[in-house]
């Protein structure tokens, strides 16, 4: 019964689909793991996590070792992931195209925003009285704040000690 539950008869084709989506060729599927470089081993580790489909998948910078095609495939795969994926990434495109929610930790408080990264950045900037940065950078950036609209958090300057001469 357990083999039916895990869909064991489809396992080889599912594994091939995931590995090929991450850039492996058909010939690579038969190669021993020891023949692959560190970057390709990271792709295997990512494939393993995607194959297992855990209820909570934690991904830290998942596009770091991927080429453009692999990153685009991963975005599409994560968009239809049936469970929860917690993604830490500087890849704005991944966060915009794969995420339905952004969980923001700020000053020991969690805030949940709906939508991708751009929507999060816009709402967070509006909430803080700032305007979001514009640009095509794939790296997320902090909003630009109008100093008059945010409270200054600088400490007052300490008086300088006078030297005795």
CATH number of the domain where residue 112 is located: 3.40.50.300
pLDDT digit string, tens, across residues 20-72: 999 999 999 999 999 999 999 999 999 999 999 999 999 999 999 999 999 99
Q: Which residue is it, tokens 């925003």?
A: 113
Domain that holds residue 24: 1-52
pLDDT over 60 (residue 162):
no
CA 143 to chain centre: 19
What's the whole-number average pLDDT of the chain? 82
Together in a domain, 65 and 112: yes
Kindly indicate the confidence band of residue 145, based on its pLDDT and cuts at 50, 70 and 90. very low
**155 in a structural domain:** no
Together in a domain, 11 and 44: yes
Residues in the chain: 165
Together in a domain, 2 and 38: yes
Burial status of residue 35 (CB atoms within 10 A of its CB: 0-12, 13-18, 19 or more): exposed
Q: How are beta strands 101-106 and 130-131 bridged, if at all?
A: unpaired
Together in a domain, 88 and 129: yes
Together in a domain, 64 and 124: yes
Together in a domain, 121 and 63: yes
Contact of 52 with 44, CB cutoff 8 Å = no
Distance CA 143, CA 130 (A): 6
Q: Which tokens sit at 20?
A: 């090929």
- This prediction has a pTM of 0.71
Together in a domain, 42 and 25: yes
Together in a domain, 72 and 137: yes
Strand, coil or helix: what is 110?
strand
Task: Find the mean pLDDT for residues 1-22.
Answer: 81
Together in a domain, 94 and 19: no
């Amino acid at each position: 019964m357990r083999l039916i539950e895990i869909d064991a008869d489809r396992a080889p084709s599912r594994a091939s689909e995931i590995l090929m989506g991450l850039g492996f060729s058909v010939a690579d599927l038969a190669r021993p793991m020891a023949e692959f470089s560190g970057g390709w081993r990271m792709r295997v580790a990512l494939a393993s996590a995607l194959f297992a489909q855990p209820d909570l998948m934690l991904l830290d910078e998942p596009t770091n070792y991927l080429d453009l095609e692999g990153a685009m495939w991963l975005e599409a795969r994560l968009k239809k992931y049936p469970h929860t994926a917690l993604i830490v990434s500087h890849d704005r495109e991944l966060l915009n195209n794969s995420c339905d929610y952004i969980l923001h930790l700020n000053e020991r408080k969690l805030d949940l925003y709906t939508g991708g990264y751009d929507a999060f950045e816009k709402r967070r900037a509006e909430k803080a009285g700032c305007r979001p940065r514009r640009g095509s950078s794939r790296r997320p950036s902090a909003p630009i704040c109008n100093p008059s609209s945010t409270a200054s958090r600088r400490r007052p300057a300490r008086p300088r000690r006078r030297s005795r001469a």
